[in-house]
Amino acid sequence: MKPLVNRVSEFSRKAKGAFDKARTLEDFKNFYAEFLSKKSELNEFLKGMKDLSEGERKKIGPLIQSLRTELTELFEQKQSQLEQQEMNKKLVADWLDITKRREQWKGSLHPVSLVQKRIEEIFTSMGFEVADGPEVETEWHNFDALNIPDSHPARDMQDTFWISTGHEKSHQNTVLRTHTSSVQIRKMMADGAPVRIIVPGRVYRNEAVDMTHDATFYQVEGLLVDKGISLAHLKGTVQTMLSELFQKDIKIRFRPGYFPFVEPGLEVDIWFEFTDKEGKSRAMWLEFMGAGMVHPNVLRNCGIDPSKYSGFAFGFGLTRLAMMKYGIEDIRLLFSQKKDFLNQFACS
């Protein structure tokens, strides 16, 4: 075997040569493994020191130690330099400009919500409260308490989504409410008279869907019960609402209509002026809502004395009103979730 001094200087040359050739972090890892790790020849030199004679150890020991220090320093310097470089590369690659603004899609209120909001503003400014009730309703609140007889066609399987029915007629039977009128009952039962509420809400009818009908739509109920209330109050209230909503005077007319929970019952038509597809101005009477004076039976069912109190009630289609206000011709568009349709209502 060659003398140790020669082996050490050969090792030193090889190590420095390898170091000079190394470029990448990977190269330097290999360099470490070969020349500095426990498995390296250097480590063997160190381990072999104890077998040397004292004289030899004094001569060659410092040589090996300083070689080790030198190689370690070279390696550590280079390694941190390369790590820094890798880090910089990563930083550049991962750079994200958090101040840059993306093209944003703005959300918007649904046209039905827009009209609902406006209606609520108008009625609260007239002293009405906005009330709410369950969409799954008892047969009693939806029909019986509203003086709607068992034989009434509205109860037919055709029109009503029944949730649960017993064999016997029972007040526990439940339906998807077919109108917001059920909330009249809930409110009067809870608070008695006087009452002044509107009830915007979703209702359900078991109907075939077409351009103007959907199985679900929104209504707004109105109810005012107090002393000395007459049809004149109803007329004034409706007229105020419409002129506020459309920002102009709207002509209305009353026709007799039948709803079991009002007496007399009315249909309210409005004179609707609009621009047609050809750009021509047109106008016609449109059926707008059902209304009337609250039937004494309904007041009595809710514990209110009809000899002391009277009231008016009305109910109109909020969905239909939104269609009128925005000139939407197909009801199905409203719940289509089509973005280009909804975007038209985005506020800027």
Residues of this chain that bind ligand PHE (CB under 6 A): 179, 181, 221, 259, 262, 290-292, 313-315
Q: To the nearest whole angstrom, how small is the minimum distance from the Cβ of residue 234 to ligand PHE?
A: 10
- How far from the centroid of its chain's Cα atoms is residue 193's Cα? 37
Amino acid at 205: R
- Cβ proximity to ligand PHE, 203 vs 328, nearer residue: 203
Q: To the nearest whole angstrom, how small is the minimum distance from the Cβ of residue 321 to ligand PHE?
A: 13
CA 100/CA 316 separation, integer angstroms = 48
Task: Show the tokens assigned to 257.
Answer: 């209509």
- Cβ proximity to ligand PHE, 15 vs 321, nearer residue: 321
Which residues are paired to 283 by β-bridges? 273
Q: To the nearest whole angstrom, how small is the minimum distance from the Cβ of residue 141 to ligand PHE?
A: 12
- Cβ proximity to ligand PHE, 36 vs 265, nearer residue: 265
- Cβ proximity to ligand PHE, 188 vs 291, nearer residue: 291
CA 262/CA 260 separation, integer angstroms = 6
Q: Which of 179, 141, 195, 159 has the alpha carbon at shortest distance from 310? A: 195
- Cβ proximity to ligand PHE, 82 vs 185, nearer residue: 185
Q: Token match 């002026």: residue?
A: 273
- Cβ proximity to ligand PHE, 15 vs 145, nearer residue: 145
Q: To the nearest whole angstrom, how small is the minimum distance from the Cβ of residue 257 to ligand PHE?
A: 8
The H or E element containing residue 27 is helix 25-35
- Cβ proximity to ligand PHE, 8 vs 223, nearer residue: 223
First to last CA, the chain: 89
The H or E element containing residue 86 is helix 54-93
Provide the greatest CA pair distance for the chain. Answer: 129
Strand, coil or helix: what is 179? Answer: coil
Q: To the nearest whole angstrom, how small is the minimum distance from the Cβ of residue 340 to ligand PHE?
A: 32
Q: To the nearest whole angstrom, how small is the minimum distance from the Cβ of residue 223 to ligand PHE?
A: 8
Q: To the nearest whole angstrom, how small is the minimum distance from the Cβ of residue 341 to ligand PHE?
A: 26
Q: What are phi and psi of 143, to 5 degrees?
A: -125, -65
In the sheet where 281-294 sits, what is the strand order? 129-130, 195-204, 216-226, 310-317, 281-294, 262-275, 252-256
